Structure 1
Amino acid sequence: MIINMPNTETNRIARKIEELHQERGEAGNDRVLTLIISTEKDELKEALEAANGASREHPCRVIAVINDDGSPDSTPNQAGQTTVTTSNDVPESPVNTAHSSNVTAMAAPNATCDVITIDPDGAATDLDAQVRFGADAGAGEVIILQPRGGLKRHADTLVMPLLVPDIPIVTWWPTNPPANPANDPLGAMSGRRITDAARSNNPAATFERLAANWEPQDIDLAWTRITIWRAMLASMLDQPPHLPVTSVKLTGGERSLPLQLLATWLGRQLAAPVSMEYVPDTDFITGVYLERGDGTLSLTREHSDEAVISQPGQKPQTVSMPLRTLEESLSEELRRIDPDEVYASVIRG
């Protein structure tokens, strides 16, 4: 179910959510966290798909705040009204508001969901909203807020009345994060702040700013994407003979942030010199080569779904190692709210 609420207020949104919980016989307070998504309209659909998938492992209330006004996609009729239809194409009451098309244009997760629009009550406001329940919202509920004008500078005051009490708050920027997430209004209220510099307009510059302003509650998904690499390399080195590594070489895309982080982590863990060889036309890690007295240990991934482990005196072994999806990376970070001490040592380096 999707409920559009153009020209609304946060107290009306909160009341509507409570009503929906009562109608469905739900407590509404069984969420494990509140996930705030600060995103742009063009990125909203992909971000919500990842959040809905992650919510099946971590039932949560998702509050998405759109940072740009966007361009309305709905076509008003001659009276300046927008007609909203449900899945069975039965017209609802026309909404007589200049901004209603902004909220009706928010991407619906499927073509068969019921879409209902609630007429504004009172004077026009600078806030459009959409509430999603049931199959359209994963294992929780989704609230989409689209503030306009000066209200965009006060996103924290919009979000506060909608938070689930007494549970952790996580803020996620799917693309372009602020230079200092801890000082951002939505980041300041959170116990965990997730960024994804690799998906920003300028990954290297974005990550450099994030590193300069890093706080213990901050994490970037570039680090999450090397979890499997770190685990497999640690497993390889745990096998005898336990000889020291004398040098390390990594191969991959020149602009790959995970490659840079993995290189830093290996250098610190192994106390060995690290070199990087860039592979054209790729943006991920393709190989790690560890030199020891008995030869070279390597973990290579020429294809996106398989990797090859090679060790001296042993036959190469092929293992499944697909590229991690956005949903998988987000789910991993939602499993832990406490600071990542290993990431802290790497980011300081």
Structure 2
Amino acid sequence: MIVGMRNTTTAAISHEIDEMHVERGEAAMDRVLTLIISTQRSGLEQALETVNAASREHPCRVIAIVTDAQPSSDQSSGEGEGKSQGARYKANLGAEPECYKAIPAGEQGDHTLDAQIRFGADAGAGEVIVLAPVDGLLQHLDTLVIPLLVPDVPVVTWWPSQAPSDPSADPLGSKSSSRITDAQNSADPAATFEALREHCQPADIDLSWTRITIWRAMLASIIAQPPHLPVQSVTVSGQADYLPLELLASWLALKLQVPVRVQREPQAQAITGVYFEREDGTLSMERLEGDHAVIRQPGQSDQTVSLPLRSAVDCLSEQLGRLDPDEVYAEVVSKGWGMVSHQ
């Protein structure tokens, strides 16, 4: 179910949510967190699809803020009186909902806020509130969301694409117990991540790091296998301009304290291999076609293991299940990153 609210207020939105909970015989108190999404219209639906899937494991209230909304045509130009509510709604949020319930407009006069409330199949295991503020409200997003937060649960803010250079100083990020970015999806991943590194705080995490969780677990496991020979150097290969590759190399350099070389392959997709040089030869793990990798160790038979590419749902689910600071990530971006050439 999707409810549309044109030219409304947060008080009206909160009241409508309460009424919908009563109608459905449920309460919002079973939500384990509030997830705030800061996104543009072009990425809204994809972000909500990811959240809806991830919320099956982590029931939450989602507040999605569209940061590039435009005033509805009937308010901004004085035209369009003959247009339907759905048409005016589409001008701001970018998509007319399948089920549209008209709610009386707010009394503030000038057009400032459109909203959607999504329940049931349209919202995963929780409810989704889509806010499309314009004009002065864009300067007070923290004040805008406060009335809609679920009481006494953590607040997480996620920027699916373009993130602020300092998430902890952002109006939304400053209210959050965990801040999730995805620099790889930004317009300039390298520049975005460099700014994030410079301002990194304990509650910050980037999904580029989460994408290498399985790689880190598998590599730690094979290094721990006998014979326990010291690693002399490491080569990491994979997709060029790919932050997870750079983070994996930085993690290995930090943990092993040996030279790590990054081999960037223009035609590669994701990470393709890691090669440890030891006195007995090369110990390696290489990705095969599909969701598998092969482990090669001197004097032993090759071993094939499962190594699927991690989806956005996988990564977001992992971070929503772990809201405490990731000390390893903080150490890698502050110390390990400088131990590897990222040219």
Question: Which residue does 2:303 correspond to in 1?
Answer: 317
Q: Partner of 1:89 in structure 2?
A: none
| Alignment of 1:119 onto 2:104 | yes
Higher helix share: 2
Q: 1:121 to 1:272 in 2, by over 3 A?
A: closer
> What CA deviation, in whole Å up to 9, does each residue of 1:99-128 have, x standing for no partner?
5333564365xxxx5332223143343000
C-alpha separation in 2, matches of 1:118 and 1:124:
17
Could you tell me the percent identity over the aligned residues?
55
Contact 1:8 1:121 in 2 (8 A): yes
CA contact (8 A) 1:41 1:70 kept: no
Question: Are 2:319 and 1:330 aligned?
Answer: no
> What letter matches 1:242 in structure 2?
H
Name the structure 1 match of 2:82. Answer: 80
CA shift for structure 1 position 201: 0.2
Corresponding residue for 1:87? none
TM alignment of 1:14-25, pairs within 5 A: 14-25=14-25
SS in 2 for 1:236: helix
- The aligned counterpart of 1:258 is 244
Is 2:8 aligned against 1:8?
yes
Aligned to 2:232: 246
In the alignment, structure 1 residue 39 sits paired with structure 2 residue 39: yes
Matched residues, number: 331
CA RMSD of aligned residues (A): 2.1
5+ long unaligned stretches in structure 1: 85-94
- Cα distance in 2 for partners of 1:49, 1:305 equals 23
8 Å contact from structure 1 (residues 7, 126) kept in 2? yes
CA contact (8 A) 1:62 1:141 kept: yes
- The answer (yes or no) to whether the contact 1:73–1:101 under 8 Å persists in 2 is no
Kept after mapping to 2: 8 A contact 1:310/1:317: yes
Q: 3-state DSSP class of the match of 1:194?
A: strand
Aligned match of 2:90: 101
Aligned equivalent of 2:281: 295
Say whether the 8 Å CA contact 2:67–2:132 is kept in structure 1.
Answer: yes
Rounded Cα–Cα distance in structure 2 between residues aligned with 1:128 and 1:114: 16
User: Are the aligned partners of 2:71 and 2:112 in contact in 1 as well (CA < 8 Å)?
Assistant: no
Matches within 5 A, 1:178-257: 178-257=164-243
Cα-to-partner distance string for 1:35-64 (whole Å, 9 max, x where unaligned): 000000000011000111111000000000
Q: How does 1:112-151 map to 2 (within 5 A)?
A: 114-122=99-107, 123-151=109-137
8 Å CA contact 1:9, 1:125 repeated in 2 = no
Helix, strand or coil at the partner of 1:185: coil
CA contact 1:265–1:346 (8 Å) conserved in 2 = yes
Task: Name the amino acid aligned to 1:306.
Answer: H
Q: 1:295 to 1:107 in 2, by over 3 A?
A: farther
AA in 1 matched with 2:259: P
Q: Is the 8 A contact 1:34 1:63 kept in 2?
A: yes
Q: What one-letter code is carried by the residue in structure 2 that aligns with 1:269?
A: K
Instruction: Note the alpha carbon deviations across 1:230-258, whole angstroms, 9 max, x for none.
Output: 00001101211111111101111221111
Determine helix, strand or coil for the equivalent of 1:248: strand
How big is the shift at 1:78? 6.8
Q: Distance in 2 between matches of 1:331 and 1:208?
A: 25
Alignment partners' CA distance in 2, 1:78 and 1:344:
52
Q: Give the secondary-structure state (helix, strand or coil) at the position aligned to 2:172.
A: helix
- Extract unaligned runs of 5+ from structure 2: 336-343
Supply the AA of the counterpart residue of 1:249: T
Offset of residue 71 of structure 1: 9.2
Question: 8 Å contact 1:6–1:103 — kept in the other structure?
Answer: no
Partner of 2:339: none
CA distance in 1, matches of 2:249, 2:281: 20
- Which letter does structure 2 place at the counterpart of 1:227? T
- What CA deviation, in whole Å up to 9, does each residue of 1:125-153 have, x standing for no partner? 30000000011100000000000111111
The amino acid of 1:60's aligned partner reads: C
Distance 2:81 2:37 in 1: 35
Supply the distance in 2 between the matched residues of 1:181 and 1:30 (Cα, whole angstroms): 28
Report the 3-state secondary structure (helix = DSSP H, G, I; strand = E; otherwise coil) of the residue aligned with 1:29.
Answer: helix
In structure 2, relative to structure 1, the CA distance for the partners of 1:288 and 1:328 (3 Å cut) is same
Which piece of structure 1 moves more, 119-128 or 240-249? 119-128
Q: Is residue 283 of structure 2 the alignment partner of residue 281 of structure 1?
A: no
Contact 1:307 1:319 (C-alpha < 8 Å) held by counterparts: yes
| Contact in 1 for aligned 2:6/2:104 (Cα 8 Å) | yes
Q: What SS is found at the alignment partner of 1:62?
A: strand
Q: Report how far residue 312 of structure 1 moved.
A: 1.3
Q: Aligned partners of 1:208, 1:16: CA distance in 2, in Å?
A: 42
